[in-house]
Amino acid sequence: MGAQSGSRAIEPGVVRDFRSRLSYGEYLDLDTLLSAQKPVSRPEHHDELLFIIQHQTSELWLKLVLHEILAARTALDEDDLGAALKCVARVKHIQKTLTEQWSVLATLTPTEYAQFRGFLGNSSGFQSYQYRAVEFVLGAKNAGMLEIFEADPAAHALLGGLLGEPSLYDAFWHCLSRLGYAVPESALTREVSAPYTMNPELIPLIGSVYEQHREHWAVYEAFEEFVDLEENFQLWRFRHMRTVLRTIGTKPGTGGSSGVEFLRKALELSFFPELFAVRTEIGRS
Task: Provide the annotated binding site for heme.
Answer: 240
- The answer to whether residues 47 and 117 touch, using CB atoms and an 8 Å cutoff, is no
Task: From 147, 134, 117, select the one nearest 237 (Cα to Cα).
Answer: 134
Q: Which residues contact 216 (CB under 8 A, 6 or more apart)?
A: 208, 209
Task: From 203, 180, 175, select the one nearest 82 (Cα to Cα).
Answer: 175
Binding residues for substrate: 51-55, 113, 117, 254
Binding residues: 51-55, 113, 117, 240, 254
